[in-house]
Amino acid sequence: MEKALVLGASGGIGYALVRELNNRGVDVVAFARGKEKLHDLYQHESRVTIFSGDVLVEKEVLEAANGVDVIFHAVSFPYQDWDKKHPLCMEILVRVAKIQQAKIALVDNIYAYGRQSKAEVNEDAKKEPHTKKGKIRLAMEQTLKRNNVPYLIVHLPDLYGPNAESTLLHETLKNVIQNKAANFVGDLKVAREFIYTFDGAQAVVELASRKDTYNQCWNIPSAHPITGEEIIEILRKELGYKKSIRIVSKKMIFFLGMFQPFMREMVEMMYLTEDPVILSGKKYEAKIGHLPRTTYREGIMKTINWMNKEV
């Protein structure tokens, strides 16, 4: 891979992908709508070309994809727009990849798996999503599989890390750095997975750099599941944080949803805070090697350092 296009380069995982590709000596086109933010993120990166555009405008994506080997799909839309924008975005991406003879790497979440009974979910697990958003993500996978384009589908848990603002842990950390009472979404005692964005990006780029990894699904787990109580203990120990933590429950989300479209769409995904999907990384470890696993203490502190610089 000599040149790559990252769609959604101004987001958390998009930023980590651009940095990982750049570190490997790959020329990168960083694509997103906000030119100013792209400039802030990449103005000092000599191998990064900034392209301000709309992923739903095919001619702009086609222009940005000129000469690239791999297109990384790291695009995020507001929950309330998923049903209209994600299918269109995927159709455009497939057409562009065919014209440019490029491969596609879809950076996916865990929604398509739906509820799972296994302690750890591998890539062979049957996908029967029961939520609207899970069905949309599964449809995106199916669009890739039925088209004659080399693809990767890489499932990651909930994200956290530098520049990853639209995440559950960011909701907690943004108040912590201001020394205010913080919110935590979900049960504090339930162990869930949160993956540091740079770990996820390293694994995705490694898969995209190989020839024998395409036309497959891959699961990339976090360092290990962790409870909210353990996360708060890290914050108390490392930062001396002493403020209270407010638990954001499903009932609270439902109430807020009566007034806020995003929260209304969030309700159906709250099952993941009660009955988490825990990914197995055995396939990656068997075929590729050790998974990148930053400890939560190190990842959280690096994230907070980034946030403090941005304030």
Q: Which structural domains are found in the chain, ordered by start?
A: 3-163+195-222+278-294 (3.40.50.720)
Give the count of beta carbons closer than 10 Å to the beta carbon of residue 262. Answer: 13
Residue 252 has pLDDT above 80, yes or no: no
For 122-144, b/e burial (b = at least 16 CB within 10 A) is: eeebebebebebbbbbbebbebb
Angle between helices 228-239 and 296-310 (to 10 degrees): 60
Can you tell me the mean pLDDT for 210-214?
96
The answer to whether the beta carbons of residues 177 and 307 sit under 8 Å apart is yes
pLDDT value, residue 264: 67
Among residues 196, 179, 303, which one has the least CA distance to residue 240? 179
Mean of per-residue pLDDT scores for the chain: 94
pLDDT value, residue 147: 94
DSSP 8-state symbol, 33:
S
Q: Percent of the chain having pLDDT more than 90?
A: 85
List of residues 6+ apart from 35 with CB closer than 8 A: 50, 52
How many angstroms separate the CA atoms of 220 and 9, rounded?
20
List of residues 6+ apart from 273 with CB closer than 8 A: 185, 186, 187, 190, 192, 250
pLDDT value, residue 268: 83
Question: Which has the higher per-residue pLDDT, 216 or 261?
Answer: 216
- Could you tell me the pLDDT band of residue 266, with boundaries at 50, 70 and 90? confident
Which pair of tokens denotes residue 185?
């979404």
Radius of gyration of the chain, Cα coordinates, nearest whole angstrom: 19
List of residues 6+ apart from 269 with CB closer than 8 A: 111, 131, 133
Bridge partners, residue 216, by sequence = 152
DSSP 8-state symbol, 74:
-
pLDDT value, residue 46: 85
pLDDT value, residue 269: 87
How many angstroms separate the CA atoms of 164 and 300, rounded?
12
With vertex at residue 154, the alpha carbon angle to CA 121 and CA 213, rounded to the nearest 5 degrees, is 105
pLDDT value, residue 260: 62
Residue 259 has pLDDT above 60, yes or no: no
Can you tell me the mean pLDDT for 143-158?
96
Among residues 243, 278, 249, 281, which one has the least CA distance to residue 266? 249
How many angstroms separate the CA atoms of 202 and 195, rounded?
12
pLDDT value, residue 267: 80
* CA atoms within a 13 Å half-sphere pointing along the CA-CB vector of 108: 31
How many angstroms separate the CA atoms of 307 and 161, rounded?
9
Query: Residue 83 in 3-state DSSP?
Result: helix
pLDDT digits (tens, 9 = 90+) for 160-182: 999 999 899 998 999 999 999 99
- Minimum mean pLDDT among 25-39, 219-233, 258-272: which range? 258-272
Residue 120 has pLDDT above 90, yes or no: yes
Q: Is the pTM of this model over 0.85?
A: yes
pLDDT digits (tens, 9 = 90+) for 223-250: 999 999 999 999 999 999 999 999 887 7
Give the count of beta carbons closer than 10 Å to the beta carbon of residue 111. Answer: 22
pLDDT digits (tens, 9 = 90+) for 82-111: 999 999 999 999 999 999 999 999 999 999
